[in-house]
Homo-oligomer: A and B are copies of this chain.
Amino acid sequence: MAIKRLRGVLAPVVTPFTRDLAPDTKRFVRHCKWLLEHGCSGLAVFGTNSEANSLSAEERMMLLEELVQAGVPAEKLMPGTGCSALTDSVRLTAHAVKLGCAGALMLPPFYYKGVPDEGLFRNFSEVIERVADERLQVYLYHIPPVAQVPITLGLIERLLKRYPKIVAGIKDSSGDWSNTKAVLDAFAAQGFEVFAGSEVFLLRNMRAGGVGCITAGANVNPHGIDKAYKGWKTPEAEALQASIDVVRKVLQSQVSMIPALKATIAHFAADAEWMTVRPPLVELTPEQQVQMIRELGDVGFDMPGLR
């Protein structure tokens, strides 16, 4: 059975916690639905911005099941399933495929540093072989500033050659446009789908053969980013890109992006519990939140329909 591949704007959905740091299913479902109604074509739940690596495998599986049971279509979901431990990656990936998810966004194993591409190839290969399901669509997750373990062009080439129907694309969060461009030039023509890891690269990515972006900013600005995505071929493309860049700039100027996203949602939803983050992250102070909201107001930002 052919899977319909996701394109456009995907949010690595922030994970709400109750005050005692438990995953908050109710707020999670509500936010996911709001995102799909306001411009997201898909949800990359359990990404870096989801604090996914602060969640156990069981917590991730529970949240994914709750989402689907609450009516969020599995074909809109691209959960992060790449873990440090091979057996966790296999378990989460198999679980996502079984639920009917559109894809799995896979970090390389990220504890051991300086590992050879041969070891990373074996990791992805073992996951694909053990999951053994032709519906599996793997999106490689390149985020060297955080994972510190890169997905090189040579690794993509080997994986694509061995698993051409399963290795579907990449999220490039290197922050380095020359890398995204190199991936596009090398593999886009054969159907390998490239998502920019930040909306600041959206227009450039679309013009160079990419398919959209999976970006932190889509948690709060899905409507703006989707407008820029849909208008990338129009005369307004540059202006639309500029309008999302200013919002991203405010978010990115904060001490830490994830608490900033949560503080933004907390403000516009009038729901202080959204501020909560799991250690090792720390929430914004009230002063930092006030300052950020003022700056977002200055650039005309709003989150319609959230309250």
A54 to chain B, nearest CB (A): 5
Indicate whether A122 sits within 8 Å of B56 (C-beta atoms), given known contacts A86-B21, A110-B111: no
Give the contact stretch, choosing among A189-197, A216-224, A274-282. A274-282
Stretch at the interface among A95-103, A141-149, A244-252: A141-149
In the complex, A109→B120 CA distance in Å?
22
Which of B59, B122, B146, B279 contacts A120 (CB under 8 A)?
A: B279
Q: Write out the residue numbers on chain B whose beta carbons fall within 8 Å of the beta carbon of A41.
A: none
Nearest CB in chain B: distance from A71 CB, A = 27
Per-residue CB contact flags for chain A residues 6-36 toward chain B (1 = under 8 Å, else 0) read: 0000000000000001000000000000000
Check A148–B149 contact: CB distance below 8 A. no
The interface bits of chain A over 113-143 (1 if a CB of B lies within 8 angstroms of the residue's CB, else 0) are 1011011101100100000000000000000
- Please tell me if the beta carbons of A113 and B146 are within 8 angstroms of each other in the complex: yes
Give per-residue flags for A77-89: 1 if the beta carbon is below 8 A from chain B beta carbons, else 0: 0000000111110
State in angstroms the CA–CA spacing of A147 and B84 once bound together: 12
Whether A243 is near chain B, meaning CB under 8 Å from some CB there, is no
Does A227 belong to the interface (CB within 8 Å)? no
Of the candidates B55, B87, B110, the one whose C-beta lies within 8 Å of that of A56 is B87
* Cβ of A115 to closest chain B Cβ, rounded Å: 4
If A86-B21, A146-B111 touch, does A282 touch B122 (CB 8 Å cutoff)?
yes
Q: How far is the CB of A260 from chain B (nearest CB, A)?
A: 14
Are B123 and A88 touching (Cβ within 8 A)?
no
Residue pair A281, B54 in contact (C-beta under 8 Å):
no
A280 to B106, CA, bound (A): 14
Q: Is A53 an interface residue (CB 8 A)?
A: yes
| In the complex, chain B residues whose CB is within 8 Å of the CB of A91 | 56
Q: A278 is contacted by which of B86, B147, B280 (Cβ under 8 Å)?
A: B86
Q: Which of B55, B113, B123, B278 contacts A279 (CB 8 A)?
A: B123
Say whether B122 contacts A86, CB under 8 Å: no
A57 interface hit (Cβ, 8 Å): yes
Interface string of A233-246 (1 = CB under 8 A from B): 00000000000000
Would B146 and A281 count as touching, CB distance under 8 A?
no
Residues of A within 8 A of B (CB): 21, 48, 53-59, 84-88, 91, 108-113, 115-116, 118-120, 122-123, 126, 145-149, 256, 278-282
